[in-house]
Amino acid sequence: MKTRYFYLVCLILLASSCATTINQSADTTVASSSEPITQVTINSQLTTDELLSELFLAVEDLSKSMQKTERPQVSQQLAQVISLSDAIRPKILATSDQLASDFDRVINLAKSAVERNRPADADKSLRFLLLIIDSLKNF
């Protein structure tokens, strides 16, 4: 009988040690809309591979800037990422619906990184973008 209580106590202790604590008094950061939005133009003569290379560099710069918390640069880099993705997406959609869906997730991660001040999302966006670029080589 003692071993049952011992196992029950161990189970309760184990379960209670996995609880999540939410600190509602912690400060949160939300991107302000007062930052000027830069209009970015994309050269329409670039090939898909060149656009993807430009996008990779833009997401990489975004990721680095997020680590340094340079807000003005981050906003400009996100504008560059969005402009490049708008130019590339129709070409990816013509290739594969699934890749276009994955591409949208990558761009949403980049947006989330800036809007929610989450540098990890920018890093994930960069890693997943590499996978999409590699996948496009198979088409």
Tens digits of residue pLDDT in 100-116: 999 999 999 999 999 99
Can you give the C-alpha Rg of the chain in angstroms? Answer: 21
The most distant pair of C-alpha atoms in the chain lies apart, rounded to whole Å, by 79
Q: For the chain, list residues with pLDDT below 70.
A: 1-40, 70
Tens digits of residue pLDDT in 24-41: 444 444 444 444 455 667
- Of 1.10.150, 3.40.50, 1.20.120, 1.10.10, the CATH number of 46-139 is 1.20.120
- Tell me how far apart the alpha carbons of residues 104 and 4 are, in angstroms, rounded to a whole number: 52
pLDDT in the model for residue 2: 59
Global pTM exceeds 0.85 = no
Sketch the domain layout of the chain as residue ranges. Answer: 46-139
